[in-house]
Each structure stands twice: as structure tokens, then as C-alpha cells.
Structure 1
Amino acid sequence: MHGPVSTAWSLVALCAATGAYCLLRMRSGVEEQRRAAGGEALMGFGMAVMAVPAAVYAPPRWAWPVYAAVFGAAALRALWSARAGAHHLHHAVGAAAMVYMSVAMAAAPTAHHAHGAPGVPPVTGALLVYFMGYVLLSGARLVPAAVPAAGTGSGGARARWGDRPELARACRLSMGIGMVAMLLAM
């Protein structure tokens, strides 16, 4: 990605940590959470790899089509899974955005020599609007509506840390922020 090196390394750390947490969430006892966590781990690690500054590591030319193929398959899988729930549509949009960025990065060396119209490409703009809206909505969902009294809840049983919905939401929020940063850096 283009942009300041310190920003890129911060993005790498954020996305890698998110991917690692999502791998841990795959140990959940709930099948749907495991499936969602697997897709989110792929996105987190894929974003981390893509955000490594080009000055440190420039992937070989063949890597970008491989990234596009992997995330294209993830997008198709998410679309197939969307029959059961709307959250999978977000996974499909995220994977499609990764395909778009992979294709853009593959074309980047030749794009520097082209003198096109200034401004943000329409696809990048649409993805930015989507992910900014997603970040705002996800952030609002993290704000607690009411704090339950101590000792209340479902029989006093606490959810395992990997099954806690607020941690999953924070994970998705951080990936949304990372996606906005990556799209802005394009």
C-alpha cells in the first residue's frame, strides 16, 4: 500500500492481531461463530500482508493474482453462505474489496505512468462509503445500552472470552477501520 511507513506498520499490527484473535474465536462451541471467525481471520491476515510497506517487502508480480483468486473464492463462499444470514453479505463485500485492491496493486506499476483523471475512482469511493458507514454502525453497536446489575444474566454463567459478542464486534470494527485506511492509501 502507499502512504507513510508508520501508518502501514500500525495497520499491519492491527490486522495481524485481529486475525490472530479470530483464529482463537474458531475454537468456539457455536458452529456459526466458528465459520464467521474463519472468514474474518482470513481477512485480517490478508489485510496485514497487503499492508506491509513496499519499501520493506515488495511481493513478486505473481502474488497479486493469487491474492485476488483467494479472496475471490472467499467472496463466492460468503455469497453462498449469505442465504442463511445477512452478515455474510458484509464478508462478501470485504472479500470483493480485497480482490479489487489486489487487482489495483497488480496494475500499480503501470498506473504510475498513466495520467488519468485526478480524484478517487468510483469503485474506491463506493467501498469507502460502505466501510465508513460500517465502521460508524459497528462503533455505535459497541456502546452499551444498559449495564446489567452484578450477578444477573443467564443463570450466572459467563460466556467464554472467545464467544463474547462485544469482542467479535470490536474485531469487526478494527477490520473495518483497517479497510478504510487501506482504501484511503490506494
Structure 2
Amino acid sequence: MHGGALTGWLLMALCAVSGGYCLLRTRAGTPRERRTARSEALMGFGMAAMAVPAAVLSPPDWAWAVYAVLFGAAALRALRPALRGGHHLHHLVGSLAMVYMAGAMAPAVTGNGGGGHAGHGAGAGAGGIPLLTGALLVYYAFYVLGSAGRLLPGTVAVPAGGAAPASRALGGFGGASDGLSELTTACRLTMGLGMFAMLLTL
């Protein structure tokens, strides 16, 4: 990646931890919540694999085709739920973005023979479509800002002579029941930042 091996390691670690947390979420919740957690775990681990520095592991040329097929299937799976709106639309965009990045990096791989992660490096610009890359960067920039905004403490109006609700005590965050939601949002924020960083390398 443009930021060097350290940036790649940090991005890989963040995405792997996010994917691991999402995998834990698949063990509880409603069927829809577990399905969402599985999709996010796949995204986190896929991004972590793509972020491994080339000096450590250069995947074979066919690995990018595997990424494209895997996330293409994930996009098809998310298509029907995405038509109903909600977070599944974001999963569809994310899966399609992964297919796009895999396809954009594949020509760079065959062109320089330096291994899959060379697509994240100095020769990455050969495969990307600037307009599409820019549109995805704008999307993820707004997504990250929106996720960060949901993590900020809210302002709660306190009735005259009353006390603030207990769930908004301690800095404005919710109680134990809201903790999972905030951690999930933080996980999604991390993966959004990771996707933004990876798109920048195109």
C-alpha cells in the first residue's frame, strides 16, 4: 500500500479484529442480525487479507479472481434484502466495491508480476476507473462521518426540576443495552475507514 508496510499491518489488524467481533455476533440475536453479522465478518476478513503487506505475502495471480467471485456472490446474496433498504444496501455497495478493487488490481498483477499486493503499491493506478473510485470514496467518506456522528454523545433535554435519564448518564451514552450497538457502530466505522484507505490506493 502507499503508506508502506506499517500502514498495511495496521489496516490488516483493524479489519481482522472487526471481522472477529462480527463473527462473535453471529452467535446471538435474531436471524436477520446474525445474517448481517456474517456479511460484515466476511467483509472484515476479506479486507484484512487484501491489506497484508506484499513483503510478507504475495498471493498468486488467481487470488484476485477468487476475491471477485467470492464478493460477487456476496453481492448477489445481498441484492434482494437491499431492495428493502436498511443496512443491507451498504453490504451490497461494500461487496461490489470489493469486486471492483479485485478487478482493478488484477491487471496490475499481470502487468508487473510483483504479486497481488503490488496493486496496492506504486503501480495501483493502472486498474482503477477514476470516476467510479471517486464515487466510492465519496460514499465511504459520508458513511464514516455518519457512523462517527452516531458515536457522539447525544444532547438530552432535561425536564424542569427533573434529572437526566439514567440511560444517558456518564457522558451521554446509553446503558448496558446500548453498549453492543455502540460497539457494532464502531466496528462498522473501522471497516468504513479501511475501505476508504484501500480505495485511495487505486
Please, what TM-score do these two structures have when normalized by structure 1? 0.85
| Corresponding position of 2:118 | none
For 2:105 and 2:167, locate their aligned partners in 1 and report how far apart those are by CA, in whole Å. Answer: 52
Q: Aligned to 1:168, which of 184, 193, 199?
A: 184
Instruction: Name the stretch that deviates more: 83-92 or 128-137.
Output: 83-92
CA RMSD after TM alignment: 2.7
Q: Distance in 2 between matches of 1:160 and 1:144?
A: 12
Residue 67 in 1 paired to residue 67 in 2?
Answer: yes
Report the Cα offset of residue 120 of structure 1: 7.1
Contact 1:12 1:52 in 2 (8 A): yes
Q: Shift in Å at residue 82 of structure 1? A: 1.3
Percent identical = 60
Partner of 1:150 in structure 2? 166
Task: Point out where structure 2 has 5 or more consecutive residues left out of the alignment.
Answer: 114-122, 157-163, 169-174
CA contact (8 A) 2:68 2:98 kept: yes
Ranges in structure 1 where 5+ consecutive residues have no aligned partner: none
In the other structure, the counterpart of 2:193 is 177
Once the two structures are superposed, the pairs formed by residues 68-87 of structure 1 within 5 Å of their partners are 68-87=68-87
* Aligned mates of 2:178, 2:86 — CA distance in 1: 25
Q: Deviations over 1:112-171 (max 9, x none)?
A: 699x99x9711111111110111011111111214763379xxxx94396xx21111111
Displacement of 1:86: 2.5
Code of the residue aligned with 2:142 in structure 1: it is G
CA contact (8 A) 2:83 2:89 kept: no
Moved >4 Å (runs of 4+): 110-114
SS in 1 for 2:177: coil
Q: Is 1:159 matched with 2:177?
A: yes
Counterpart for residue 20 of structure 1: 20
Question: Partners in 2 of 1:29 and 1:144 — Cα distance?
Answer: 25
In the other structure, the counterpart of 2:116 is none
- Assess if the C-alpha contact under 8 Å between 1:2 and 1:53 holds in 2: no
- Residue type at the aligned position of 2:37: A
Q: 1:2 to 1:62 in 2, by over 3 A?
A: farther
How many angstroms apart in 1 are the aligned matches of 2:49 and 2:108? 17
Q: Which has the higher contact order (CA 8 A, sep 6+)?
A: 1
Matched residue, 1:104: 104
1:71 aligned counterpart, secondary structure: helix
Contact 2:25 2:34 in 1 (8 A): yes
1:9-30 alpha-carbon deviations (Å, 9 max, x no partner): 0000000000000001111222
